[in-house]
Structures are given as C-alpha cells and as structure tokens.
C-alpha cells in the first residue's frame, strides 16, 4: 500500500507541475500509533522543484500542491510536509 500511495502522489504532482525535481518520502512509520494515523492514512514529505511555482508565495505553492493531490488528501494522506519552490529559489 505504501508504494502505491507514494506512486499516486508522485503521479499527480508530475502531471500537475512537470517538476525538474521531485521526491516523495513515506514518513508514516515515524507516526505509528499517532491518533491521526489510526485511520490508515499516511504521513508524507514532498520535495518538488518546478517552474510552475515561479512567483508564487509559499502559501499559494502549498495550496497548489494540495489541489493537485485532490482526493488523496482525504483518502490516503493524513499529514503532508511540503517543500515546493521554483528552480533557482530556496523557498
């Protein structure tokens, strides 16, 4: 299930942003027993660099990532740590 979730997250983000860099890390094991993880959804970290983020403030980038993930935010993802920026910027 974990590999399937990571692949689904990656697939949606690649389709939405055509990133130069993307890394999706399943961090669920670190949160085992956490109240929010009991429903089976996971904790993930995303690092993504895409030209689509140029000129966007951080909150707008995060909202764009959430929008691209769509229903996965309700069905598969409990928590998401996002590091999203445009090429040549650090945040």
Q: Could you report the per-residue pLDDT of 5-43, keeping only the tens digit for each? A: 999 999 999 999 999 999 999 988 765 666 655 566 788
- Write down all domains in the chain, each with its CATH number in brackets: 2-85 (3.30.300.90)
Longest Cα–Cα distance of the chain, Å, equals 39
How many C-beta atoms surround the C-beta of residue 61 within 10 A? Answer: 21
Distance, CA of 29 to CA of 42 (rounded, Å): 9
Distance, CA of 22 to CA of 41 (rounded, Å): 21
- Which residue would you say has higher pLDDT here, 31 or 78? 78
Instruction: Identify the H or E element spanning 79.
Output: strand 77-85
Q: What SS3 class is residue 41?
A: coil
């Amino acid at each position: 299930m974990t590999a399937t979730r990571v692949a689904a997250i990656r697939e949606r983000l690649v389709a939405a942003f055509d990133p130069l860099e993307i890394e999706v890390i399943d961090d669920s094991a670190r949160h085992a027993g956490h109240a929010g993880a009991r429903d089976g959804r996971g904790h993930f970290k995303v690092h993504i660099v895409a030209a689509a983020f140029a000129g966007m403030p951080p909150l707008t980038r995060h909202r764009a990532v959430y929008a691209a993930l769509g229903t996965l935010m309700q069905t598969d993802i409990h928590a998401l740590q996002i590091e999203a920026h445009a090429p040549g910027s650090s945040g």
